[in-house]
Amino acid sequence: MLAAQRQARILEEVQRTGGVRVNDLTRLLGVSDMTVRRDLDVLDSRGLLTKVHGGATVRRAGSTDEPAFTVKAEMEQPAKDAIARTAAALVRPGTAIGISGGSTTYTLARHLVGVPDLTVVTNSLRVADVLHAHESASPGNNQTVILTGGMRTPSEALVGPIAVQAIRTLHLDQVFLGVYGMDAAAGYTSPNLMESETNRALVAAARNLVVVADHTKWGVVGLSAFAGLGEAAVLVSDDGLPREAREVLVEEVGELVLAERDD
């Protein structure tokens, strides 16, 4: 097993159980405790978990903690890919859509490269890069990509007054929004005040709001709320979403769709 595969397996165990012991991981992975400890050091340095004596625990984020895009992109990859595939099926050729910043929306963009005559407005540098790269490779695809201006966040999103002003003039058929957290009381939240304001503009521009969020986002609350749960016409999550979350969301959102992960 490659180091990256071991580390992904360790992260899955930490997310599933909340904490792991070195001894348990050595048996699970069939490697030495020194190898496990090195893997835990790597994951801790990337901010993906917290190393403790004898093992590791889930990294508890504060309401203003904003991981870098590269860190978020490594987390819950099967869930994000399942969500992205499911959400991409909602997009129709010839429509105008908005895509917010985030690792789940970045994965979504990779599933949209073949949709013809699509106009995409985004404040995500990563999303724009994916779509522009495919446009250059397939010039007959006829996709139009509009990147807002603004200040760059750790999650590679452009936010602030310039981004908000650009979005406020638009009317979009659909907006696909990634979130930092979703909670029964707080709604959809962000740790970044300017990103939250930019997300509000995207919500206001949408005829149809689709939130894409994996199961780990439930119960997480960022500093600033930008929409209530019920403002989403569709919420696409994955089949790891806990029962209590499903019960709340079925009552609140227009439609809850749970994508099946290929674990």
Q: What's the pLDDT tens digit per position in 165-202?
A: 999 999 999 999 999 999 999 999 998 999 999 999 99
- Domains, the chain, ranges and CATH? 3-58 (1.10.10.10), 69-259 (3.40.50.1360)
Residue-level pLDDT at 64: 60
Residue-level pLDDT at 134: 76
In sequence order, the 6+-apart residues with CB closer than 8 A to the CB of 219 are 181, 183, 245
Instruction: Return the DSSP state at 119.
Output: E
Residue-level pLDDT at 155: 79
DSSP string, 150-208: -EEPTTSBEESHHHHHHHHT--BSEEEEE-SEEETTTEEEES-HHHHHHHHHHHHHBSS
Residues of the chain with pLDDT below 70 are 60-73, 135-141, 263
Contact 231, 182 (CB under 8 A): no
In sequence order, the 6+-apart residues with CB closer than 8 A to the CB of 28 are 9, 13
Residue-level pLDDT at 139: 62
